[in-house]
Amino acid sequence: MLLGSESRSTAVPLWLVTEGQLPRLLAQLDPPAAAWLRGHAFQAERGRVMTIPGAQGGIAAAVGGLGSLADPSQLSLWDAAACAERLPAGHYALATGLAEGAATQFALGWLLGSYRFNRFRSQPKALNAAHLVRPERADAAYAEAAATAIGWSRDLINTPANELGPAELAQAARRLAEEFGGQFLECSGEELRRQYPLVHAVGQGSSRPPRLIDCRWPRGGAPRLTLVGKGVCFDSGGLDLKPSAGMLLMKKDMGGAACALGLARLLLSMKVPVQLRVLIPAVENSVGGSAYRPGDVWVSRKGLTVEIGNTDAEGRLVLADALADADSERPDLLIDLATLTGAARTALGPDLPALFASRAALAAEAQEAGDSVADPLWPMPLWSGYDEELSSKVADLNNVSTGAFAGAIIAALFLKRFVTTTPDWLHVDLYAWNPKDRPGRPQGADTQGLRALYALIRRKFG
């Protein structure tokens, strides 16, 4: 949490300085402080943080470098995360004035820099005890709500599959619905087989029963927003078994569901005026005598028949039934989030989620919103020329292509077959994982697209 303004008078001042502004700051500081920075060859390198000692041995001030930025207001929230992670324990207050947007990003970045996943450590890593006084002009309510939502989503993704299966994911959604006065429904068993046959097919090989999670927060007269999150709690690949290396991170295959739930939490915390619905097909894709098979043909919720070309392309199958349900209500905006294809990672790497949209203008809006909050989304084409790659000789369509190219686009085109009435639809193919440690982004779970989509929704719906 951010400290109240009453702590400002006793907090250590924290200066943010660019390379171009460093000479002016050195001239402003008292001679011993300036000599200290010069003596330690401080050049305002981006991400470098230094403390300046006081006469009594304490910390008199701190300085955070912003590198070649033209102005501190161009900072990213990750600059703040570096300060939070690298400063010693204490209370700090910004001595550099920032505009509202930059101050808010700094506050959020500071809070994200303190995230740790300690649930399974017998001796937990100590949380950073560097606390920030609420910056002037910062939207502290948003920063704290966003940090809470992101931390909660990260915890879900980081939790191993033996502790988080379809039932536990449903319980997390139930608690969210109860906390914010929403409605919670869960479809499983024979009812799931009838209503969401593809979800049931994918999950029927596991001893942990599949289910469709449906949460609603009605709001009369408000725009209708539906979020769909892929909730594959572990993906072995099914009978088209993954190699062992390919399973190591498969606890994160419910990352789309975690991001959808985290986005919902943030929207509800900030009382965004929308009618919100969240749909999560929660399954485990396992190997067993009852597992679905390559060559099977299943009738989807929409009525389209699907031939199973590969059981490891299960995410698009469970999303198809959930999207068909969402699309039948024709919401004002429909968004699905999924750790869907390795092809998207090959094309864009781990940091850039692939973004597909029903309209080019909507994709541009989403990309701009993401850029504004340092949460990038990268538009990719729903190229209709590849539609024929999904053809089947025995069914309406196959769940995979016979070729090796354009895997992310073909997966998006598969989903598009199940979104036929909703004008504004976004599909986000994300990684949900940080492969390396960086300030505010420790190795492990990441909530890609959450802040970008929140910014987009606020712009569209107020």
Active-site choice (211, 251, 277, 316):
316
What would the pLDDT profile of 4-62 be if each residue is shown by its tens digit? 989 999 999 999 999 999 999 999 999 999 999 999 999 999 999 999 999 888 999 99
Question: Which residues, 6 or more positions from 41, have their beta carbon under 8 angstroms from its beta carbon?
Answer: none
Q: Is 1 a residue whose pLDDT tops 90?
A: no
For range 366-385, the mean pLDDT: 97
Q: Is 345 a catalytic residue?
A: no
Active-site choice (208, 242, 438, 460):
242
Q: Is 125 a residue whose pLDDT tops 80?
A: no
Confidence of residue 121 (pLDDT cuts 50, 70, 90): confident
Q: Is 447 a residue whose pLDDT tops 80?
A: yes
Percent of the chain having pLDDT more than 70? Answer: 99
User: Tokens 């989304």 label which residue?
Assistant: 377
Domains of the chain: 5-114 (3.40.220.10), 144-461 (3.40.630.10)
pLDDT for 122 equals 83
What would the pLDDT profile of 310-358 be if each residue is shown by its tens digit? 999 999 999 999 999 999 999 999 999 999 999 999 999 999 999 999 9
pLDDT for 69 equals 95
Evaluate whether 187 touches 196 at the Cβ level (below 8 Å): yes
What would the pLDDT profile of 74-106 be if each residue is shown by its tens digit? 999 999 999 999 999 999 999 999 999 999 999
Q: Is 190 a residue whose pLDDT tops 90?
A: yes
Q: Is 242 a catalytic residue?
A: yes
What would the pLDDT profile of 198-242 be if each residue is shown by its tens digit? 999 999 999 999 999 999 999 999 999 999 999 999 999 999 999
Cα three-residue angle 286-334-461, rounded to 5 degrees: 140
